Amino acid sequence: MRSGSLEVFYLADNVYVVGHKSPDTDSVASAISYANLKNQLGLPEIFVPAAAGEINNETRFVLEHFNVPVPEVLTDAKGKKIILVDHNEVAQAVDNINEAELMEVVDHHKIGDIQTGSPIFFHNEPVGCAASIISAMYDQNKVVISKEIAGVMMSAILSDTVLFKSPTCTEKDKVEVAKLAKICGEDPQEYGIAMLSAKSDISSKTARDIVKGDYKHFDFAGTKAGVGQIEVMDLAALVDRREAILADMEEVRKEEGLDFVLIMLTDVMKEASDLLFVGSPAEKFEQAFEGKIENQSIYKEGVLSRKKQVVPPLEAAFK
């Protein structure tokens, strides 16, 4: 039985809902929408959405468009109650995640190395976006979705699935977008193009911003790597930045003590990626992507997804 409401108020714990470092729109939108859902379930805790770093241009566009406040930045999980969304790997999580009290995980990636001392809710589905899972959870819990929350969740799904073009996109993602579009009153294609254009605006970005904007660490059987991605409407926008990006990738590689850094320059319209590579072993990179390195890269038609088309072939090559 629950104790008196005053007591509950004073004892109420903050639970931080947070996505991965170098937050993308899904990590931020899922934190906002899952905290919002949990806060409506009559639980004693207060659920606080957080971002594990500064939000990117695309996410800023989304939050401004739907008039949703930017969540607070959380960089250290030590001693805090935490729910992870959109990731479940220690290397991608806020610092000291192993010294936090992990309450739940809601994710759509491969199962990583997060460990807990006691049983928790761990909800993972092979869908295109964590926000698709959360959007369905609103219905399962019979909680009404507001226009604002519908807008941010729809944005996350359109972003993660690259307007449904990514091979990670599933029927569930499309069903949830159709539902959310009705609530937020935006046409998914039209709105999606405007959102991706905000992401593609790299004029004000430094080479470091481009390399680290959407960047994750991976461990391929002991080989340490950083794998990033920038999505643009037209790769031509990146041509004269290429040398500077490569130089910065090498700097990042040294700073972080990695074996290699791979950055996907993804052309959303042509549905292809130029895979830039610095470090070693180059032969594993060539093996993974079945090509020869030219000008420090391999160009791959049809490759849009780091999760489905870049990480698995690397894992296979290093096996």
Residues in touch with Mg ion (CB under 5 A)? 24, 26-27, 86, 130, 160
Residue 315's SS3 state is helix
Closest CB to Mg ion among 276 and 284?
A: 276
Which of these, 230, 214, 241, 293, lies nearest to 267 by C-alpha position? 230
Q: Rounded to the nearest 5°, which phi and psi values hold at 29?
A: -65, -40
Find the shortest distance in angstroms from Cβ 52 to Mg ion.
11
- Relative orientation angle of helices 25-39 and 57-65, to the nearest 10 degrees: 40
Closest CB to Mg ion among 19 and 284?
A: 19
CA distance 270 to 303: 10
Find the shortest distance in angstroms from Cβ 239 to Mg ion.
23
Closest CB to Mg ion among 30 and 297?
A: 30
CA distances from 289 to 3, 90, 244, 268, 296 (A): 59, 27, 23, 19, 13
Closest CB to Mg ion among 52 and 100?
A: 52
CA distance 17 to 105: 9
Which of these, 310, 282, 312, lies nearest to 297 by C-alpha position? 282
Find the shortest distance in angstroms from Cβ 135 to Mg ion.
13
What residue number has its CB nearest to Mg ion? 26
CA distance 31 to 85: 6
Q: What string of DSSP letters covers 271-313?
A: TEEEEEEEES-HHHHHHHHTS--BTTEEEEET---IIIIIHHH
Residues 111 and 88 sit within 8 Å (Cβ to Cβ): yes
Closest CB to Mg ion among 56 and 297?
A: 56
Find the shortest distance in angstroms from Cβ 294 to Mg ion.
26
CA distance 104 to 172: 22
Find the shortest distance in angstroms from Cβ 138 to Mg ion.
17
Closest CB to Mg ion among 171 and 240?
A: 171
Closest CB to Mg ion among 23 and 284?
A: 23
Q: Which residue has the tokens 């192993």?
A: 98
Q: Rounded to the nearest 5°, which phi and psi values hold at 129?
A: -160, 140
Find the shortest distance in angstroms from Cβ 3 to Mg ion.
38
Find the shortest distance in angstroms from Cβ 304 to Mg ion.
10
